[in-house]
């Protein structure tokens, strides 16, 4: 097909699960996986309905498991449920009431641990605080907080009384806060005096104060004391968390909410215009994150589980708070940066808490590689039994480093593909079953029925790159974009009628494994060949001297689009002669069609605070244009200026 994306990455290595891991895994055989997957595809209502009855606690049973066609599917209609009850109360009837629910470590070394019983008590108290402040079921509440336990407590307190939380990552600007407050019509904001990031204070309360001038719907602000910074407190509007919690009743029964009651809104950047308020509802989302946490991470009661994400992103919602706590797990929260006070901080935490499951981003893994093997070598990582990656495709060389250096060649790696919109993991190895291939997220989970199609919706053969779509609904999918259902339909369901289109390109190999090739808008069109930027980046970082790379297209008078590579070396910036060597390396790895036109060495790339490379800004630089559009999520503005100063290669 002329509009297929050409796949040029060839990876033949395969790693079966260790026999000992498979012997003790929750899903332990290919037959078991295929039986589950086939039933979920052929009988989705029965498959998910049975799980909902056995795995969720209901105040009132649902009438129908699945109602309607995608994109208007409703799940478990007529049922009454509560996400906070699901994460807390049901464990209090078991031995888990005295088990650690959250272990927290601050960037400054502070430590706090909450058992399920203690967490339940704090959540109930804060739920009563919210009620006293006039919050009712259906109200929207903004949370703009550092990675402290109060963030999880506030989420669960909102869920307890039926308020819909909207978490804004603590790195966003005042304008970004007010935009989201206004879109959600938030009634109350919960924040902190500040947070810590690499030893510096992030002025959260000051940002909230600035946003209040443009947030007319917000009536009150609750402030957690974290840094002890001197902050202004507006009379009759601002309240200290610790003062509100004094003497509050610790009894707050969980509200009995409809299955489709809105649990949270989470804003994700649109390519243009205002951010999109992705809305997730209660029962379907809770079933999805409960089951995917258990299946993908092979979660055992004795595990200490650590997802390194920030709760401000969907990964933190689903796999720090709701998924692990619903399963009665011990979930670790860390406040700070991975390189503070030094580059060994993550491995220090793994050793200190004997972490068993470690889930992080490819961006972080590439940073670890750049920092050097000596850092993980200083610590005992023998407690680890499972590794995971999330956020973007992982290049094979980074996968291999993770496998060898962090996993000691004994830990399966679950390379997970999913999105804010999908609510939970969609495609991933099952660690006791799936033979993994470096760079592939492997196969769909039960209930996930993907396809690779052309722009016209025709399904492609094996190893042809195309659009990754979902052909069947699943319980934890987004229900709408808050206040803009037309945009929801246009964004996700208009391109390929009857299918959810993820925005990602992918291919499926002869073994049925999926290889996500990155965003479709990150596809290069070189002399009529459509190439994935991710595959060129993988070729670049397979060079011994390169730690990280970002590839973008730029206008080229002969080819239509040229290939510009921004490259971070493992050491100092190499001499210009090295550029030709790197170009030849890519040519050798992929072929002449992918030979870069420009190589630009740099010490840093423009990234969001969640670690995603802002390729849009790199495209502007490569094309010699000034950057337009939203840069509020950029972590370090000086990176852009330094990149512009460089000569082209």
Chain centroid to Cα 480, Å, comes to: 19
Distance CA 301, CA 120 (A): 19
pLDDT at 592: 77
**CATH code of the domain covering residue 605:** 3.30.300.30
pLDDT at 93: 95
Q: What is the pLDDT of residues 468-497, one digit of tens each?
A: 999 999 999 999 999 999 999 999 999 999
Which residues does 322 contact at the CB level (< 8 Å), separation at least 6?
Answer: 83, 87, 285, 286, 289, 290
Give which of 323, 321, 316 is closest to 297, Cα–Cα: 323
Q: Which structure tokens are listed for 163?
A: 């308020």
* Residue 600 three-state SS: strand
Domain contains 24? no
* Burial profile 472-486: b = 16 or more Cβ within 10 angstroms, e = fewer: bbbbbbbbbbbeeee
List the domain range (segments joined by +) for residue 206: 115-255
Domain contains 119? yes
Return the number of other C-beta atoms located less than 10 Å from residue 556's C-beta: 15
- Tally helices (H) and strands (E) across the chain: 22, 30
Domain contains 270? no
CB-CB contact of 126 with 160 (8 Å): no
**What's the predicted TM-score (pTM) here?**
0.86
CB-CB contact of 88 with 96 (8 Å): no
Q: What angle do CA 79, 85, 91 make, to 5 degrees?
A: 125
Which of 197, 220, 255 finishes a domain?
A: 255
Q: 604: burial class by Cβ within 10 Å (0-12, 13-18, 19+)?
A: middle
Distance CA 535, CA 526 (A): 14
DSSP 509-574: -TTS-EEEEEEGGGEEEETTEEEEHHHHHHHHHTSTTEEEEEEEEEEETTTEEEEEEEEEESSSPP
Domain contains 157? yes
How far is the CA of 335 from the CAs of 191, 197, 279, 287, 315, in angstroms? 15, 8, 26, 28, 15
Domain contains 405? no
Q: What is the pLDDT of residues 106-158, one digit of tens each?
A: 999 999 999 999 999 999 999 999 999 999 999 999 999 999 999 999 999 99
Domain contains 80? no
pLDDT at 395: 86
Domain contains 441? no
Q: What's the per-residue H, E or C state across 214-229?
A: CCCCCCEEEEECCCCC
**How many domains, the chain?**
2
Distance CA 335, CA 350 (A): 14
Distance CA 452, CA 382 (A): 39
Which of 202, 224, 255 finishes a domain?
A: 255
| DSSP H or E segment with residue 263 | strand 262-268
Q: Which residues of the chain have pLDDT under 50?
A: 1-2, 271-272, 628, 647-649
pLDDT at 112: 98
pLDDT at 272: 46
Q: What is the pLDDT of residues 527-576, one digit of tens each?
A: 666 677 877 898 899 999 999 999 999 988 777 788 999 999 998 888 88
Which of 255, 281, 303 finishes a domain?
A: 255
CB-CB contact of 97 with 118 (8 Å): no
Inter-residue long-range contacts of 458-462, CB under 8 Å, 24+ positions, other chains counted: 458/1, 460/1, 460/4, 460/507, 462/507, 462/508, 462/509, 462/510
Give which of 357, 249, 226 is closest to 303, Cα–Cα: 357
DSSP 395-434: PHHHHHHIIIIITTTTS-EEE-B--TTT-S--B---TTTP
Start-to-end CA span in the chain (Å): 34
CB-CB contact of 629 with 272 (8 Å): yes
Rg (CA), the chain: 24
pLDDT at 21: 97
Q: What is the pLDDT of residues 85-112, one digit of tens each?
A: 999 999 999 999 999 999 999 999 999 9
Q: What angle do CA 178, 181, 185 make, to 5 degrees?
A: 140
CB-CB contact of 635 with 643 (8 Å): no
Is the CA virtual torsion 372, 547, 438, 354 positive or negative? positive
Q: Which structure tokens are listed for 550?
A: 């970002």
Q: Which structure tokens are listed for 529?
A: 């060949």
**CATH code of the domain covering residue 248:** 3.40.50.980
pLDDT at 268: 83
pLDDT at 411: 98
Domain contains 613? yes
Which residues does 52 contact at the CB level (< 8 Å), separation at least 6?
Answer: 62, 65, 75, 76, 79, 283, 287, 475
């Amino acid at each position: 097909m002329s509009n297929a994306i050409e796949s040029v990455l060839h990876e033949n290595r395969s790693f079966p699960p260790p026999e000992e891991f498979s012997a003790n895994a929750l899903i332990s055989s290919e037959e078991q996986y295929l039986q589950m997957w086939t039933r979920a595809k052929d009988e989705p209502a029965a498959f998910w309905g049975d799980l909902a009855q056995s795995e969720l606690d209901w105040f009132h049973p649902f009438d129908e498991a699945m109602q309607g066609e995608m994109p208007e599917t409703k799940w478990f209609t007529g049922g009454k449920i509560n996400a906070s009850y699901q994460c807390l109360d049901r464990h209090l009837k078991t031995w888990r009431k005295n088990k650690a629910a959250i272990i927290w470590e601050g960037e400054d070394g502070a430590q706090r641990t909450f058992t399920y019983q203690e967490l339940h008590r704090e959540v109930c108290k804060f739920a009563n605080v919210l009620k006293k402040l006039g919050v009712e079921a259906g109200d929207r509440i903004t949370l703009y907080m550092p990675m402290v336990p109060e963030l999880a407590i506030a989420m669960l307190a909102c869920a307890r009384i039926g308020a819909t939380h909207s978490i804004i990552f603590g790195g966003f600007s005042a304008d970004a806060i007010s935009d989201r407050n206004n879109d959600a019509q938030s009634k109350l904001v919960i924040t902190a005096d500040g947070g810590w990031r690499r030893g510096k204070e992030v002025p959260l309360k000051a940002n909230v104060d600035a946003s209040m001038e443009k947030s007319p719907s917000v009536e009150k602000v609750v402030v957690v004391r974290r840094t002890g910074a001197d902050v202004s407190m507006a009379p009759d509007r601002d309240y200290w968390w610790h003062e509100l919690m004094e003497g509050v009743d610790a009894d707050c029964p969980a509200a009995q909410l409809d299955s489709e009651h809105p649990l949270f809104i989470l804003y994700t950047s649109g390519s243009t215009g205002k951010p999109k308020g992705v809305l997730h509802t209660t029962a379907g989302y809770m079933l999805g994150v409960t089951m995917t946490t258990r299946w993908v991470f092979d979660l055992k009661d004795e595990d200490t589980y650590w997802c390194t994400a920030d709760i401000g992103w969907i990964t933190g919602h689903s796999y720090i708070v709701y998924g692990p706590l619903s399963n009665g797990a011990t979930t670790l929260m860390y406040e700070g940066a991975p390189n503070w006070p030094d580059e060994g901080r993550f491995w220090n935490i793994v050793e200190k808490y004997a972490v068993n499951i470690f889930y992080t981003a490819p961006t972080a893994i590439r940073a670890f590689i750049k920092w050097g093997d000596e850092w993980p070598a200083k610590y005992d990582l023998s407690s680890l039994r499972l590794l995971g990656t999330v956020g973007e495709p992982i290049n094979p060389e980074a996968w291999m480093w993770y496998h060898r250096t962090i996993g000691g060649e004994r830990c399966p790696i679950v390379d997970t593909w999913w999105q804010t919109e999908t609510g939970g993991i969609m495609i991933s190895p099952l660690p006791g079953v799936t033979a993994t291939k470096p760079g592939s997220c492997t196969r769909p989970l039960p209930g996930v029925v993907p396809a690779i199609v052309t722009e016209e919706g025709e399904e492609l053969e094996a190893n042809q790159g195309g659009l990754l779509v979902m052909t069947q609904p699943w319980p934890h999918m987004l229900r709408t974009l808050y206040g803009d259902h037309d945009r929801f339909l246009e964004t996700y369901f208009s391109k390929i009628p009857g299918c959810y289109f993820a925005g990602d390109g992918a291919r499926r190999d002869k073994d049925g494994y999926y290889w996500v090739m990155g965003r479709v808008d990150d596809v290069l069109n070189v002399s009529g060949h459509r190439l994935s930027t991710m595959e060129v980046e993988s070729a670049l970082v397979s060079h011994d001297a390169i730690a990280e790379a970002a590839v973008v297209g730029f206008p080229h008078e002969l080819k239509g689009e040229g290939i510009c590579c921004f490259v971070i070396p493992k050491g100092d910036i190499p001499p210009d002669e090295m550029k030709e060597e790197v170009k030849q390396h890519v040519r050798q790895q992929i072929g002449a069609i992918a030979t870069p036109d420009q190589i630009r060495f740099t010490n840093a790339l423009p990234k969001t605070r969640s670690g995603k490379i802002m390729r849009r800004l790199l495209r502007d630089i490569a094309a010699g244009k000034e950057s337009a559009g939203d840069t509020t999520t950029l972590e370090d503005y000086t990176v852009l200026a330094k990149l512009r100063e460089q000569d082209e290669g």
